[in-house]
Amino acid sequence: MRIVDIIQKKRDAEVLSSEEISFLLDEYMVGNVPDYQVSAFLMATYFNGMNKNELKVFTEKMMNSGDIIDFPGIKKFLIDKHSTGGVGDKTTIALAPIFASFDIGTAKLSGRGLGHTGGTIDKFESIVGFQFPETKEGLIDLVNKCGTGIMGYSDKIVPLDKKLYSLRDVTATVPSIPLIAASIMSKKLAVHADGIILDVKTGSGAFMKSLDDARLLAKTMRDIGDSMGRKVVTCITDMDQPLGFAVGNTLEVIEAIETIKGRGPKEFSYLVETLAAIGLMLKGDVDNLDKGREMVLEIIKSGKPVEMLKMFIENTGGNPKIVDDYNLLPIAKNKLSVKSNNNGYVSAIEAESIGKSAMILGAGRATKEDIIDHGTGIILHKKIGDKVNKGDELATIYYNDSKNLKDSEEMILSAYAFSTDFIEPRDIILEIESV
Ligand code: URA
């Protein structure tokens, strides 16, 4: 077999055999194929895609390129809820303790924020002393102790994804749906959860700007999961405006805690309740979402998720008292009120601009090396459909360093669009499908 023939076949939109894909990736992994040949293969794939079998073999090879984490001896039903990333997405922080309250374990790898999107790992690290496990043994131990097992991506898990992603990044081949689907699913499948819930974001703050692309990505990931015998549910959810009101690490932790106390923003609470209800359906506790949501509302009322979150924080070295006393969290020293220059109804909020305006305050990273200032961020006071008069407060900026304050304020102001007529916000959950 020759690599050049495999590239040529993909270039000419012919179907590759399982052996050809395996050969390409095995040889690349051990350093026998140069980056320029794999770059050519990735570009050919960008244009010609992959069929179901190609994608299955490609994803399986990636998944098996490093450690596989399974949980022998753990009796809990384990779920991995993954989001494709957005602005203000603090769902895992609220969802994991609700799952733990139903004896559903969370088993997942989470990311750090980059660019306009935040990462769950950074958010939890707002809690002083909080430390995620660094080894698979640590992750298993955490699931055993408190039901919630989350750790960061490491070089040992799916190393082939890291190699390929670096090449995609510099060859303009990141936005390929089969390559994105394989990249995400290989990391999900390397951790043996019983059910996978994929929250595919769509809109101005998401990777998938259009609903059609989000649908295709969701279906491609379901197909991969199905081909490997995994239970996968995809939810396509709105990211045409930030999720909830808080954007920035500490601020999002507080909003997530408020949500499990039953006081969260309406649309975010509904998303969390629905994802939790999907978990209950996957586990077999209920046979419809309405019943699941009812159970979730009841458990929130009982206060159990708050106790489960405290237990998780305690087991990761943080101070569980932060759940009752937000003053124990790092909050930026200064605030600036951003006032509207317009009258009307909010018709859109460019979520990506809000993410970037938080990032330049220190809440996110422009490059992987940047250091996060956890207490900074933005609280939005107006969302799509709200009536605004000139001079009304649109948002509050939380900042420590005023260097980028003016730019951040201008980005927020230009993120808002107004209309003279009332605009109904899009539903938070657009579609739910399962395999
Ligand atoms: N997230 C991933 O993990 N991989 C991609 O390719 C894109 C987004």
424 Cα–ligand 1 center, Å? 31
- Token representation of residue 64: 């098996």
Residue-wise pLDDT tens for the chain (435 aa)? 999 999 999 999 999 999 999 999 999 999 999 999 999 999 999 999 999 999 999 999 999 999 999 998 888 999 999 999 999 999 999 999 999 999 999 999 998 888 888 899 999 999 999 999 999 899 999 999 999 999 998 889 999 999 999 999 999 999 999 999 999 999 999 999 999 999 999 998 898 999 999 999 999 999 999 999 999 999 999 999 999 999 999 999 999 999 999 999 999 999 999 999 999 999 999 999 999 999 999 999 999 999 999 999 999 999 999 999 999 999 999 999 999 999 999 999 999 999 999 999 999 998 888 899 999 999 999 999 999 999 999 999 999 999 999 999 999 999 999 999 999 999 999 999 998
Ligand 1 within 6 A of CB of 182: no
Same domain, 105 and 237: yes
Q: What is the CATH number of the domain that holds 112?
A: 3.40.1030.10
**384 inside domain:** yes
CB atoms within 10 A of CB 345: 18
Ligand 1 within 6 A of CB of 180: yes
Total count of domains within the chain: 3
Same domain, 263 and 155: yes
Same domain, 312 and 341: no
CA dist 254 and 307 (Å) reads 15
What domain range includes position 169?
Answer: 77-323
Q: What is the CATH number of the domain that holds 40?
A: 1.20.970.10
69 Cα–ligand 1 center, Å? 20
Long-range CB contacts for residues 18-21, cutoff 8 Å, separation at least 24: 18/53, 18/57, 21/54, 21/57, 21/58, 21/61
pTM: 0.95
**375 inside domain:** yes
CA dist 127 and 302 (Å) reads 24
Ligand 1 within 6 A of CB of 184: yes
Same domain, 160 and 302: yes
Determine the residue of 112, 157, 161 to mutate for testing ligand 1's pocket, defined as the one with the most ligand atoms within 8 A of the Cβ atom. 161
Q: Given its phi and psi angles, is residue 267 left (phi above 0), alpha (psi -120 to 50 degrees) or beta?
A: alpha
180 Cα–ligand 1 center, Å? 5
Q: Are 411 and 356 in contact (CB under 8 A)?
A: yes
**68 inside domain:** no
Q: Are 245 and 380 in contact (CB under 8 A)?
A: yes
**429 inside domain:** no
400 Cα–ligand 1 center, Å? 32
CA dist 237 and 16 (Å) reads 34
Ligand 1 within 6 A of CB of 181: no
Active site residues: 82, 161, 168, 183, 187
Of 297, 323, 349, which one is at a domain's C-terminal end? 323
Ligand 1 within 6 A of CB of 158: no
Same domain, 291 and 337: no
**53 inside domain:** no
**108 inside domain:** yes
Determine the residue of 80, 153, 183 to mutate for testing ligand 1's pocket, defined as the one with the most ligand atoms within 8 A of the Cβ atom. 183
**144 inside domain:** yes
Same domain, 40 and 94: no
**234 inside domain:** yes
Same domain, 86 and 230: yes
- Token representation of residue 8: 């040529």
Same domain, 336 and 238: no
Ligand 1 within 6 A of CB of 83: no
Q: Are 361 and 404 in contact (CB under 8 A)?
A: yes
CB atoms within 10 A of CB 324: 11
CA dist 95 and 93 (Å) reads 6
Same domain, 126 and 202: yes
Same domain, 364 and 406: yes
Q: Whose CA is nearest to atom 3 of ligand 1?
A: 184
Of 266, 299, 323, which one is at a domain's C-terminal end? 323
Same domain, 176 and 315: yes
Closest to 377 in 3D by CA, of 404, 396, 394: 396
Same domain, 308 and 335: no
**CA 420 vs CA 348, 395, 412, 423: distances in Å:** 13, 20, 20, 9
184 Cα–ligand 1 center, Å? 5
Q: What is the CATH number of the domain that holds 377?
A: 3.90.1170.30
